[in-house]
Structure 1
Amino acid sequence: MTQRSKAPVVSLARAPGERAAWNRPAAVVYLWGLCELLFVTNPLQISSGLRVRVLRLFGAEIGRNVIFRPRTRVRFPWKLHIGDDCWIGEGVWFHNQDHIYLGHDVVISQESFLTTGSHAHRRDMGLLTRPIHIEPGVWVTTRSIVLGGSRIGRSALICPGTVVSGDVPANAIFGTAAGTVLGQRFE
């Protein structure tokens, strides 16, 4: 018997329920899902102001002059906090099972993914959440991923396609814009 076959398997049938992060009655969560589909995720070039108003209606704290492009997703608007003069690019996904805080003048570029949740993968696959803090002046460039527990310092720039896990110092250019050879495909 190989070591691989002796590895334990976490029973997903016994994993804790998915509603652990809702913090609202089911009816509110389902109503939000419908409104998100119609007004926020909608790919049509409807008003950014309309998106912001709908998000605020469901508890998002959004400052003045925030631009929200189409195809944006927000898991729980009541856990989203955005400062003044921010730009949220097309296709950004706030998978915020915990709170996400953006300071003023922050840019989150196209197709970036901010997620506050993970799972207790060695125990029972229960939900684990940690907030994300992004300080003023930060630019998270296209297709970056920011994980729960991360803090990005004032005026930092996250390079395209970077995964952020932990702290990024203020004014840093973080990540690698160039690819790196990790090995050979064929030996």
Structure 2
Amino acid sequence: MSDIPVIDLSKAPGERAAWDQPAWKVYLWAVCELIFVTNAWQISSGLRIRVLRAFGAEIGNGVIFRPRTRVKFPWKLHIGNRSWIGEGVWFHNQDHIYIGHDVVISQETFLTTGSHAHRRDMALITRPIYIGAGAWITSRCVILGGARIGQGALVRPLSLIEGTDVPGGQVWGGNPAVHVADRFTGVA
């Protein structure tokens, strides 16, 4: 017999801990997300944004929101003017995600604000994500709760930002991501 404990998941706190809205609204959003947001058809970005706003998302003017995106809770999504959200981006936002103006989040990037108390009872733990104006999160990155990405920063493809601060104007890359260069001066 091993001395390593196993957490009884039947006793773990429920998944609804982050809902903070009535069940009918969460379920209605799931249907609307499937039809209007996650849908791969090249329907209007403006229509996607109107549906997201109808459920409480704060989305600025001139935002481009490509198909196949996912948004867990639109009422916890805040996007500034003229930002671009690439195809297949997934906002698993059990806490708030704040995106500044003129930000690019490229294809297949996954942003998640939730994790679990893995040493205790697997209870949900959430922390917001902040992405500064002019930042570029390139394709297939993973951004974890607690991350703060500074103004004009760039995160290279396939990078993992583990709830750390990425200073403005820097290029970060890798898993876990580290500083690799300065974005606008080219100095490493």
Higher strand share: 2
Partner residue in 1 for 2:38 = 41
Runs of 5+ in structure 1 lacking a partner? 178-187
Q: TM-score, normalised by structure 1?
A: 0.92
Q: Which residue identity is paired with 2:167? A: P
The answer to whether 1:153 aligns with 2:150 is yes
- How many Å apart are 1:176 and its aligned residue? 3.5
Runs of 5+ in structure 2 lacking a partner? 176-188
Partner residue in 2 for 1:184 = none
Partner residue in 2 for 1:18 = 15
Identify which of 113, 118, 136 aligns with 1:116: 113
Partner residue in 2 for 1:170 = 168
CA offsets 1:22-71 (integer angstroms, 9 cap, x no match): 01000000000000000000000000000000000000000000000000
Distance between the aligned counterparts of 1:29 and 1:10, measured in 2?
Answer: 28
The answer to whether 1:71 aligns with 2:74 is no
Radius of gyration: which is bigger? 1
Distance between the aligned counterparts of 1:6 and 1:87, measured in 2?
Answer: 50
Q: TM-score, normalised by structure 2?
A: 0.91
Partner residue in 2 for 1:53 = 50
- How many Å apart are 1:90 and its aligned residue? 0.2
Q: Which residue identity is paired with 1:14? A: K
CA offsets 1:120-176 (integer angstroms, 9 cap, x no match): 000000000000000000000000000000000000000000000111011000014
CA offsets 1:91-123 (integer angstroms, 9 cap, x no match): 000000000000000000000000000000000
- How many Å apart are 1:6 and its aligned residue? 1.4
Aligned-residue RMSD, C-alpha: 1.0
Distance between the aligned counterparts of 2:56 and 2:3, measured in 1?
Answer: 47
